[in-house]
Amino acid sequence: MHARVNTARVEPGQVDEFAATAKAVLPRAKPQSPGLNGALVLADRGTGKIVIVSRWESEAAGDSAEPMYQEAMREFGRFLAEPPTRERYEVLLEL
């Protein structure tokens, strides 16, 4: 299993708006993204830091979701105070 970690920053007052958009966007991604096993959306309300962790059956499955990622970024872009960062990891343990 693999994970993608996307980190971004929004204005602290926009965390709830971002969350509402994520609740609309991310469920649409699942049927469009074979191999997507789930996602977490985390926020620090004080700083506006947002972390999205997605879990994938394989690295290739995550790579194949690039069009979905670009679509989501278009919807999230209005909130972003700076460009997001993206990292990939191999999942070694899941409890």
pLDDT (0 to 100) of residue 29:
78
Separation between Cα atoms, residue 20 and residue 31, nearest integer Å: 19
Cβ-contact 69, 61 below 8 angstroms: no
Would you kindly state where each structural domain of the chain is located, as residue ranges?
Answer: 2-90
pLDDT in tens, the chain (95 residues): 999 999 999 998 999 999 999 999 888 877 878 899 999 999 999 999 999 999 999 999 999 888 888 888 888 999 999 899 999 999 999 89
Residue 27's pLDDT is 85
The CATH code of domain 2-90 reads 3.30.70.100
**How far apart are alpha carbons 22 and 72 in whole angstroms?**
9
Its pTM surpasses 0.75: yes
